[in-house]
Each structure stands twice: as structure tokens, then as C-alpha cells.
Amino acid sequence: MKHILNKLETFLDKNSILIDEPMKRHTSFKVGGPVDILLIPKTEKEIKDILILLNNENFPFYIMGNGSNLLVSDKGVRGAVIKLSENYSNCEVQDSILNAQSGILLSELSQIALSNNLGGFEFASGIPGTLGGAVTMNAGAYGGEMKDILISAHVIDKKGNIFEIVNGNLQLGYRTSAIQVQDLIILSSKVKLSECSNNEIKEKMDDLEYKRKSKQPLEWPSAGSTFKRPEGYFAGKLIEDSGLRGFQLGGAQVSQKHCGFIINKDNATASDVINLIHHVQKVVYENFGVKLDTEVKQLGEF
């Protein structure tokens, strides 16, 4: 690993390279052991150089945003994690188009849209993730999805090749996209919004914020909605009807406020969380014959 570090230090500053970094500092669940190397690049060139180096050295790596949809093992992560978040979050506004780097938070992008009197992004204003993650999984809420506003994604593959993919070729579906299938990494994305009055946009954002705060356990560490919506059902209702509201294993709990959320109630470990996920899946399947798939991504050995 020292050989890799020496090469990384030739083009990254030391603040961009963290050794044995606890991943609980970088995930919304607030759990996870240390990663061998955490890399936080600031430019597209740094991202490309990192990918080429790690690929050439056959050094394992994983790409993350701000960790809002990620469960990291208590044993940590072997290899490198590349974090595209606040250090890679510029946005340019041209007419009704926002061209933003993948690390920008959706909440920050929604404020940029608001300040430029551009509507259509309100649905994403309360989603706790980055633009890159939102496009990768075609994030959506309250009747809106990224596919509705996305023009194109500027991407890079793991060998360092950079190219553009337009919306029609991104295969955007329910929590899926060609980005996932082809194992690509989003560098930036363009979204097209529409001119709208500032008051109207703000009113919609405030209304959605009120709905989220009243219905979701935002006061507790979590990864948002834990399970995908099974066809014909709602995950939260299946869990509630299985008698699991408030059910707790270790420090992890099925939220009392919204059964579709598993929260870190009391210094949970990643093992607590995954054990509770498996228990919920088992009980729901026994009661209703429905398999619950997780929205949360797992990283490391469980």
C-alpha cells in the first residue's frame, strides 16, 4: 500500500488522502469501520488520475458521494474509497440549465435553482444525497424523478475514459440506470428546469419539507428509506402490518415514525443494522410472501 500512497502523493495534496479513516464519519448511518485509504479529489483531472492509477495497480476501490445511502461493515473496507462530495461540487447556471459536479448536495442545488427562479427541482430539495448518487439511482420523491429533468450525464469509466450520455440512453428506471449497470462514475450532470416565481418554488419546497419532517425520522441517523417499494405494495405498510413498528435489535430500530426507515437509535453497529434488515425481510416474507429489496448499498464484509 505504501507504493500506492507514494504515487497518490505526487498529484494529490495530503488533505485529500486519509489513512485508516473511520467510515462512520462519512455515512449518514454513523456506522462503519476504517477504510485503508479515503481519497477526496477536488478536480476532474484528479479523479481521472486516481482511477487510472488504481486500475493499473489492480488496487480495489469504491466510489461514494456523501454516504447518505451507504452501510459500511464494522470491519471497514480494504482498498480505497473515493469520496465525491463537498470538495467536488461546483455548479454553473446558463439560462434554465444547471450544470453541476456530482458531489453537490441536492439541497444545495435546490437553493441555487430557487435563487435563479427555476422550478422543477423542488421534489429533490429534501433528498439527503448528492447529484451523482441521485442520477445513478434515478432518485425521486413526491411525484418527481431525476429522469424528468435530466439532460445528460458527463461520466468516466474505471479505466479513465470520459464521455457524455444523454438522458435517452441512460435507461433511467425505478432506482436504476445504465450508470449502475455499466459501472460508470458520474462527473457532472445537466438538468433543465423552467422559469417560475420565487414564491411559488419556495412554497413547494416548504410544503415538502414539512411533509418530510412530519412523516420521516430525520432526527435519527439513517440511510433514508431502507427498502425499495415492492410492486403493488408499500414497504413501510408491510413492515407495520407485520408488527415490527419500533422493533429493535442492538442499537438499530425500525422507526416508530415511519416503518420504512431503519434508524441508528442507540450507538448501533453495522451488524445491528444488517441483522435488523434481514429480520424484517424474513418476517415480511413469512407474513405476505413479499421479498423486500434494500435501497441501501452495502460496502465491506458482512
Query: What positions carry a catalytic annotation?
Result: 175, 225, 295
CA dihedral 156, 161, 164, 170 (to 10 degrees): -60
Rounded to 5 degrees, φ, ψ at 118 are -115, 120
- Contact (CB, 8 A) for 296 and 69: yes
The rounded distance, in Å, linking the Cα atoms of 121 and 148 is 10
Rounded to 5 degrees, φ, ψ at 23 are -75, -15
Using alpha carbons, select from 151, 114, 116, 117 the residue that is nearest to residue 131.
Answer: 151
Reduced 3-state DSSP string for 178-247? HHHHCCCEEEEEEEECEECCHHHHHHHHHHHHHHHHHHCCCCCCEEEECECCCCCCCHHHHHHHCCCCCC
Strands 77-83 and 150-156, sheet pairing: unpaired
- Contact (CB, 8 A) for 188 and 99: yes
- Contact (CB, 8 A) for 294 and 68: no
The rounded distance, in Å, linking the Cα atoms of 23 and 188 is 24
Q: Residue 57: left (phi > 0), alpha (psi -120 to 50), or beta?
A: alpha
The rounded distance, in Å, linking the Cα atoms of 186 and 147 is 15
The rounded distance, in Å, linking the Cα atoms of 134 and 219 is 22
